[in-house]
């Protein structure tokens, strides 16, 4: 189900709202637990989580984006706290607040609609804006800064690996040729350079889609954060606690799927060794669900189209 949060300015329609929160199983005593929303955005999932918590429940949320933080600071619920940092830091950030174990974690990956729709953030090739693309505008390098200085081979690798773009070589070459003539500082400018370099067209897809996805993933270290975030989240889950992760493209979804699989199918010793079945390494997680948005949700919110929710539960077993 999609929900629209009405805030002044840009709106975000939360994807798989009920599905991701229902999966955390907040019934009974679990409503008094401690939970993490690693990607606050405009707070759609957080507000539903808070509505399901008892008075003694707690919710910690994270976001990199100062505008998301401003929205979160207006929540004004004593059970809720917001951290302006990557969810990859959740373990240390919450340990500093005396929390080492939680009863459920939600990650709704990628960017929010306000980030895409606000041309001044530089995420969109559909409208002209400065080539920024940082979720956290208070630190790090903008896309324009990176594109101005990156070696051609790095541009090519990022565009190929993170955009799954087969014209990565031609695009990197075109970027390097253009930046020798003029700075590449605008979204439409980059989109036009890419469109010239991409020789075939994918149906219903702007030729700049893959390159913009790649640059955004690189600038925001999205896959590094996801890898670190999944490990941190797993380490914080109490036995019986669940993790709901919504991803929006195949690179993310593959990482989530493989991470869960590595906890479900733990390495077994050589079968010829005399080890009793009871002493064999046990699964550390069990898979609960893989859910895609309904046709109705996709009709109402086309950005939900590529979403996949995966849910897994921590089992009592100890990591090897
Ligand atoms: C799809 S939106 C989340 C929407 C949110 N569930 C809602 O209902 O409003 C993703 C949000 O996560 C943030 N984000 C992405 N990666 C992050 C990370 N590694 N750490 C913290 N925040 C992150 C983005 O800035 C964005 O605000």
**Cβ proximity of 194 and 206 under 8 Å:** no
Last residue of a domain, one of 219, 245, 265: 219
Whether residues 32 and 108 fall in one domain? yes
Whether residues 41 and 60 fall in one domain? yes
- Show the domain range for 298: 3-113+222-314
Residues in the ligand 1 pocket, defined by CB under 6 Å: 12, 14, 38-39, 41-45, 62-65, 68, 86-88, 108, 110-112, 135, 225
Whether residues 226 and 109 fall in one domain? yes
Tell me, yes or no, whether 158 lies in a domain. yes
The CATH number for 173's domain is 1.10.150.170
CA of 278 to the centre of ligand 1 (A): 42
The CATH number for 263's domain is 3.40.50.150
Tell me, yes or no, whether 60 lies in a domain. yes
Q: What is the pLDDT of residue 8?
A: 52
**Cβ proximity of 59 and 53 under 8 Å:** yes
Q: What is the pLDDT of residue 7?
A: 41
Q: Which of the listed residues 14, 17, 64, 231 should we mutate to test ligand 1's pocket, taking the one with most ligand atoms within 8 A of CB?
A: 64
CA of 61 to the centre of ligand 1 (A): 10
pLDDT (tens, 9 = 90+) of the chain, 320 residues, equals 544 443 456 788 999 999 999 999 999 999 999 999 999 999 999 999 999 999 999 999 999 999 999 999 999 999 999 999 999 999 999 999 999 999 999 999 999 999 999 999 999 999 999 999 999 999 999 999 999 999 999 999 999 999 999 999 999 999 999 999 999 999 999 999 999 999 888 888 899 999 999 999 999 999 999 999 999 999 999 999 999 999 999 999 999 999 999 999 988 888 788 888 778 888 999 999 999 999 999 999 999 999 999 999 999 866 54
Last residue of a domain, one of 171, 195, 219: 219
Q: How many domains does the chain have?
A: 2
Give the orientation angle of helix 168-179 with respect to helix 187-197, to 10 degrees. Answer: 130
Question: Which pTM was predicted?
Answer: 0.94
Q: How far is CA 29 from the centre of its chain?
A: 29
Tell me, yes or no, whether 131 lies in a domain. no
Last residue of a domain, one of 193, 219, 245: 219
CB neighbour class for 118 (10 Å; exposed up to 12, middle 13-18, buried from 19): middle
């Amino acid at each position: 189900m999609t929900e629209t949060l009405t805030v002044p300015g840009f709106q975000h329609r939360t994807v798989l709202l009920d599905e991701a929160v229902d999966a955390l199983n907040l019934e009974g005593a679990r409503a008094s637990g401690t939970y993490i929303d690693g990607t606050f955005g405009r707070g759609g999932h957080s507000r539903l989580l808070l509505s399901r918590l008892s008075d003694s429940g707690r919710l910690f949320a994270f976001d990199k984006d100062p505008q998301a933080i401003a929205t979160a600071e207006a929540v004004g619920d004593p059970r809720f706290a917001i951290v302006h940092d990557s969810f990859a830091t959740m373990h240390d950030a919450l340990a500093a607040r005396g929390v080492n174990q939680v009863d459920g974690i939600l990650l709704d990956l990628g960017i929010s609609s306000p980030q895409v729709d606000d041309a001044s953030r530089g995420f969109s090739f559909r409208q002209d804006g400065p080539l920024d693309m940082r979720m956290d505008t208070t630190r790090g390098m903008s896309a324009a800064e990176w594109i101005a200085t990156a070696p051609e081979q790095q541009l090519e690798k990022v565009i190929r690996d993170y955009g799954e773009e087969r014209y990565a070589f031609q695009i990197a070459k075109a970027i390097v040729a253009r930046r020798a003539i003029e700075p590449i500082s605008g979204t439409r400018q980059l989109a036009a350079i890419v469109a010239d370099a991409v020789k075939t067209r994918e149906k219903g897809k702007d030729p700049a889609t893959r390159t913009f996805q790649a640059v955004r993933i690189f600038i925001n270290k999205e896959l590094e954060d996801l890898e670190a975030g999944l490990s941190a989240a797993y380490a914080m889950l109490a036995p019986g606690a669940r993790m709901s992760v919504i991803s929006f493209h195949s690179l993310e979804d593959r990482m989530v799927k493989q991470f869960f699989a590595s906890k479900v199918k733990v390495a077994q010793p050589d079968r010829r060794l005399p080890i009793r079945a009871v002493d064999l390494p046990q699964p550390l997680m069990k898979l609960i669900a893989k859910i895609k948005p309904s046709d109705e949700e996709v009709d109402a919110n086309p950005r939900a189209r590529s979403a996949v929710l995966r849910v897994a539960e921590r089992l009592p077993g100890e990591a090897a």
